[in-house]
Amino acid sequence: MMSYSSLLLQLLLLMNYGQDDEVIKIENINNYAVVFDAGSTGTRVHVYSFDRNMDLLPVGNDYEFFLSTKPGLSSYENDPEGGAQSLKPLLQKAQDVVPQQFLANTPVILGATAGLRQLPASATEAILDAVRNLFKNESKLSYKADWVSTLQGTDEGAYQWVTVNYLLGTLGKKYSSTVGVVDLGGGSVQMAYAISDKSAANAPKDEDAYVMDKLVMGTKYNLYSHSYSNYGQKAGRAQSLNLSGDAGNPCVTNGYQGTYEYLGVVYNVSAPLSGTSMRRCRALMRKTLRVDAPCNHTYCSFDGVWSGGGGLGLKNLYVASYFYDTAAETGLVEADAPSGKIRPIYYKNAAKKACSATVDNIKSIFPLLDERDVPFLCSDLIYEYTMLVDGFGVNQLKEITVVKQLEYKKDSSLPLLEAAWPLGCAVELVSSLVN
């Protein structure tokens, strides 16, 4: 039986531990952020926590708390209030994760991407206003009207650049240590990378702002960010079908006969009588991407867009979304691998097989191929290869990284995080609030 004095000793020890915990807590002021990603198919909420060095802290068992709901806010075109209400359970759960004492200092952010950008501006504003009312009236979090907004492609690309460099541990280092990021979405493709002061000074002044000043984690970057709208993978298929017309498209898998719908437009899809041809598909994709468009700048990528001039911020390139998906479907990266090292030429090598396959044997050659991609594998591979090599000017033998998720600071014992915009948005906002 335990004596009274040893029980007392244990109690005292417990109290001491308790006090130590308090001390640790006070020194490590946690900074939380709640980020809503309002995409086209659904809304997702992320809760992150940072210590005062801006290192990630665990939230529960993971490095983030994550929850999602369907459908997306864009389904509430005629019911903005209903849209806002659909976020309430996510808001509640996210608040439950943040300790009471930090609630009032925790920013709540909502970024609306592709889906909401396609609605009429008045409908989008009504939905965002309803969300603002919800956050303002019914959350205990720190709220600002500006933090609920539509993200332009360039913002999305820039935040994703922050995410990737944060996770790699290169954020806060000089620009030449950072990596560049290309995100191939369905509708648009984004490129973001840091450029030198000299290149930034040479940026075209007359048109869209290509370069933003990013002050993040105490370091200033000239960040080149551009969104090529109508050049995402799904848009690219449709553009190439428009160009090839009724006589058939040389990128379409042999033997396929069907239609493809993109943004309410239906396209006829079939290979020409002469069959699929990698060579003619390459030529068509160079046209689709307008690689030879007039260039009013010293350096252009494609479609007459200023390329940013390249440089050390592009020494290492991370490519995401459909670049990853196509690589995974064709076995260029291991199935379920969060990221992988490849070279642009791998897409072309896979295309040699895809462009000579038929609808009947393509799935035996590429067992992981999604049924919906059967008609377009040759097309997608050549589109991606052409975009990297002829569009962005990447040497086809250069090693690049296809990425979906990353380890935090390359520590494989820790959980993986998505290489997407919400974390970067949280990092940038929290680091600006802390400093």
Tokens for 287, please give them: 């046209």
**Sites for ligand NAG among residues 233-252 (CB under 6 A):** 235, 238-239, 242, 246
Flag whether 187 is marked binding: yes
189 marked among binding-site residues: yes
The C-alpha R_g of the chain, in whole angstroms, comes to: 24
CB of 307 to ligand NAG, least distance (A): 13
Residue closer to ligand NAG (CB basis): 40 or 160: 40
Q: In terms of CB distance, is 240 or 277 closer to ligand NAG?
A: 240
Residue 85 binding ligand NAG, by CB under 6 A = no
Sites for ligand NAG among residues 324-343 (CB under 6 A): none
Q: Does 229 bind ligand NAG (CB under 6 A)?
A: no
Report CA 76 to chain centroid distance, whole Å.
24
Catalytic residue among 22, 64, 138, 156: 156
Question: Residue 315 in contact with residue 173, Cβ under 8 Å?
Answer: no
- Start-end of H helices in 290-343: 322-329
Q: How far from the centroid of its chain's Cα atoms is residue 120's Cα?
A: 24
**Which of the stretches 68-76, 107-115, 121-129, 130-138 binds ligand NAG when contact is defined by CB under 6 A?**
130-138
Dmax of the chain from CA atoms?
A: 94
Contacts of 147 (CB under 8 A, 6+ apart): 107, 108, 109, 110, 429
**Total site size for ligand NAG, rule CB under 6 A:** 14
Tell me how far, at minimum, the Cβ of 2 lies from ligand NAG, in Å. Answer: 56
Closest by Cα among 150, 156, 229, 235 to 192: 156
Q: Rank residues 47 and 300 by Cβ distance to ligand NAG and give the closer one.
A: 300
Buried b (16+ CB within 10 A) or exposed e, 386-400: bbbbbbbebeeeeeb
172 labeled binding residue: no
CB 328 within 8 A of CB 319: no
Least distance from ligand NAG to the Cβ atom of residue 237, Å: 8
Nearest CA among 141, 51, 149 for reference residue 430:
51
Which residues are CB-neighbours of 210 under 8 A, at least 6 positions away?
A: 203, 204, 224, 225, 226, 306, 308
Nearer to ligand NAG, 191 or 400 (CB): 191
Position with the least CB separation from ligand NAG: 304
Bridge partners (DSSP) listed for residue 46: 35, 66
Considering the rule CB under 6 A, would residue 269 count as an interface residue with ligand NAG? no
Footprint on residues 284-323 left by ligand NAG (CB under 6 A): 294, 296, 304
Which of 14, 243 has the CB closer to ligand NAG?
243
402 annotated to bind ligand: no
| Residue 311 marked as a ligand binder | no
Query: Would residue 329 show up in a list of annotated catalytic residues for this protein?
Result: no
For ligand NAG, the binding residues (CB under 6 A) are: 133, 136-137, 230, 235, 238-239, 242, 246, 265, 268, 294, 296, 304
Residues carrying an active site annotation: 156
Query: Known binding site for ATP: residues?
Result: 186-190
